Structure 1
Amino acid sequence: MEKKRAAMMETAELRKKRAQEKVGVHIPGDIISEILLRLPARILGKFRCVSKSWLSITTNTVFVRANAQHNLITRPSLIIGDRQPYLASANAASVFPIRLQPMETMSENYFVMASCDGLVCARSLQDSQHFISNPLTGQSIALPLDNIYLTCKLGFYFHRSTSKYRLIRFKVPMTHESEVLVVGERSWRSIPVSIPAFFDCECPLELSGKLYWLAHTRRKIICKLPPDIIVIFDEEEEVYSAICPPPTKKLQKYLGGNLVNFNGELGLWVVGLNVTIDLWIMDTFWIKRYSVNYACIHKCPSPFKIKARSRPWILGGAISIRDEELLVHLSTIIAPHSLARWNLKSGACVLQHLVYKSSTFRSTFPYTETLTNPQ
């Protein structure tokens, strides 16, 4: 009996010792950081309570920024609609309202103006107060009220050398001056625009430390003219430059289009009357890399029928998902809201009909959930 009791005690001690050994396994901090870096922000936020070291890692500004960039590539989404916006995810077949958390004294009715690293800049429709909010964490910060134009083009970007987020704005329709605000400060700083133009897109494309706008050197009056200039703003040097889009003659049947970050390259996709959507890539000079016949949409499963000669698609924003795919927000009279996932190489298209009640859907912003603190 005593031998049996001693054996049981020994077994219990061995189990306890093994458990302690497992707990005591040391994993280097850099490996833990690499593992956490690859997690979705929504899950990552729950791990901050695990230990002080994990809290330190996940609240580090450099780590949060790296996680945001990783999620932009692996879990891209689109914010569709500037009022009552909805979130469309590339990795899920669902579209749901995105709720911003404005300041406590503000109305919940707001107008989305820009997005960057999971932060959304919006304007209250009640008192015109502007704010930046993180929809995932609920954190918000109010912006100064000194004459933020109701009719302005707004850019939102991360300034690498200072690790601060900044806004840049232009009064429309045409301006010779821009203003920059460092988020958290109270005043805007003026920067002359050396290339005055009429900006065509609602918000710029941010790529490799530069902002890109589709623009016109002359104002559109009746017909929809193709853009004849792309204005570039260097975020570090704070200077403007410009390049030409693809040759105008090749965009004669232009109906619409926008700039896109395609695998780290500057891209311009164009929809025309010739029943094609062309993707141009800037590689020293413009190259038409893909041309997709949007009649292929007719073969895609959808709850509505599209006539063969119906009005061509009017396209909203787009994001590059991976190698040769685009996620595009589409709209026509027949199909007001749709989300198309295009494989540009094969021409295959998966179309999802969106059902939501946004009063306006002209704007589309790239987005992904992050833990970025707006303050």
Structure 2
Amino acid sequence: MMKRVKRSKKRDERDVNDPFTNLPNDMIVEILMELPPRTIARLHFASKHLSSIILDKDFIKLYMSQSSTQPRHLISLRRSGDMQMQRFQSLSQDLSSSSNHDMVSFKMNPDLRYVFTPPVRGLICGRDGTKVTVGNPSTGQFVSLPRVKTRRQDIFSVFGYDPVNDVYKVLCMTVVTTRNYMSRVGNLVSWEDIVSEEHQVITLGAKEKWRMIECKYPHRHYTGYQGIYLDGFMYYLASYKKKRSLMSFDLSSEDFNVTKLPEDQMLQEFGELVNHAGKITIANQAYISIDLWVLEDASKEVWSKTAVVIPYVTDMFGRLRNFVFMGILGTGEMIFSSHKLFYISYDPKSKKVREIVINGIGEDSRDTIQVFFDHVESCMVL
């Protein structure tokens, strides 16, 4: 027979004497809006009344709406060696130094080496093989998802938000990759002939589990390229019918679609996906310019092309550096990097250039660092 657990009288008294119940909700919300996400996550455990406000979806949306006007750089650092540690640090995109900014850290399983996809609405997803974790880097709260149900060697995962059902989802696709992969007639199968065989989706929630879904477009993702999220869709580059194509995944209907790319050799071979002014864009870095192919109409496969000429590096800094195009901020500024913690920002409209130097972290050569732009902080408690 199960023993009945008596309720704690002290806990009841704490709830009754909760001082926050004496304050108007509007005043509490106003105070919470001024606090960093990590503090809000801690206050969630301090008071039932506070918790009810913090967990309310309207408050979460209000906080995110405010944060979206102040986008930040998000740095993910995985420390190797004896002290395995995963750290996240966000800093204002208007500042050139990372000093005096909160750093959220948590201890890792030393056997796991998570690689994170770009954050979506404040949350971020990391995967190491079949192990997946989703968390809020601003609060340090991470949850482990069920393992991906596969024995395949090559796994591609993308993370996004379903605005219709107000949920986050992870999509995983798996591919068989063996050196002696042979066709039925005994000939070696080319890379383009190998396509993803399993397509699985998991919805973040109390009863989360992986679900197999159908894909009508046999394709293979490009290893080493990340997908990007935009307005309820995930986009990524893939090989479809032996040609480089743009794949999209509707997070609400869970349907795939394919868009033909322009017949441009450089774009076909080297183009990378970016979000440019709220539009899906494929960017290709030429010698002194960036070619931007903007998807104007997906249903009609209409693309437009613009070329942005960038100044010579010696003109900007008086010294030679090898800069690589990294992406475009919501402000329209283009980001270039010469190494993992030194960036420059170039505004094509004003022609202004500024340095972005991130100090104080990643000084150990063994550290693995990822930097994400236009990160929006969230106070969501997981």
Q: Please report the TM-score for the alignment, with normalisation by the length of structure 2.
A: 0.67
SS of the residue aligned with 1:330?
strand
1:157 aligns with 2:183: no
Task: Quote the Cα distance in structure 2 between the aligned partners of 1:99 and 1:47.
Answer: 16
Task: Quote the Cα distance in structure 2 between the aligned partners of 1:34 and 1:342.
Answer: 36
**Structure 2 residue aligned with 1:237:** 253
Q: How many pairs does the alignment contain?
A: 321
* 1:150-177, Cα deviation, whole Å (9 max, x unpaired): 6422111222333322111112474043
Amino acid corresponding to residue 278 of structure 1 in structure 2:
D
**Structure 2 residue aligned with 1:314:** 324
**Structure 2 residue aligned with 1:286:** 303
Task: Quote the Cα distance in structure 2 between the aligned partners of 1:214 and 1:137.
Answer: 32
1:118 aligns with 2:125: no
* 1:299-330, Cα deviation, whole Å (9 max, x unpaired): 3349xx316xxx6x4334x35232x324x352
Which stretch shows the higher mean deviation, 350-359 or 204-213?
A: 350-359
**Structure 1 residue aligned with 2:196:** 175
* 1:51-107, Cα deviation, whole Å (9 max, x unpaired): 97765443212331443354245223244577766646413323489655368xx34
8 Å Cα contact 1:205/1:259 also seen in 2? yes
1:331-342 mapped onto 2 (5 Å cutoff): 331=338, 335=339, 337-342=341-346
Shift of 1:236: 1.0
Where does structure 1 lack aligned partners over 5 or more consecutive residues? 1-25, 220-226
SS of the residue aligned with 1:306?
coil
Q: 1:142 to 1:48 in 2, by over 3 A?
A: closer
Structure number with greater Rg is: 1
Q: 1:51 to 1:132 in 2, by over 3 A?
A: closer
8 Å Cα contact 1:298/1:306 also seen in 2? yes
Shift of 1:248: 1.5
Where does structure 2 lack aligned partners over 5 or more consecutive residues? 1-22, 80-85, 178-194
Q: Please report the TM-score for the alignment, with normalisation by the length of structure 1.
A: 0.69
Q: 1:46 to 1:181 in 2, by over 3 A?
A: closer
* 1:272-305, Cα deviation, whole Å (9 max, x unpaired): 2x3211233322332234513252x333349xx3
Task: Quote the Cα distance in structure 2 between the aligned partners of 1:42 and 1:86.
Answer: 12
**Structure 2 residue aligned with 1:20:** none
Q: 1:132 to 1:151 in 2, by over 3 A?
A: same
SS of the residue aligned with 1:283?
strand
SS of the residue aligned with 1:228?
strand
Shift of 1:209: 0.9
Q: 1:275 to 1:217 in 2, by over 3 A?
A: farther
Which stretch shows the higher mean deviation, 72-81 or 198-207?
A: 72-81
8 Å Cα contact 1:329/1:364 also seen in 2? no
1:191 aligns with 2:213: yes
Amino acid corresponding to residue 156 of structure 2 in structure 1:
K
8 Å Cα contact 1:271/1:315 also seen in 2? yes
**Structure 1 residue aligned with 2:288:** 275
1:68 aligns with 2:90: no
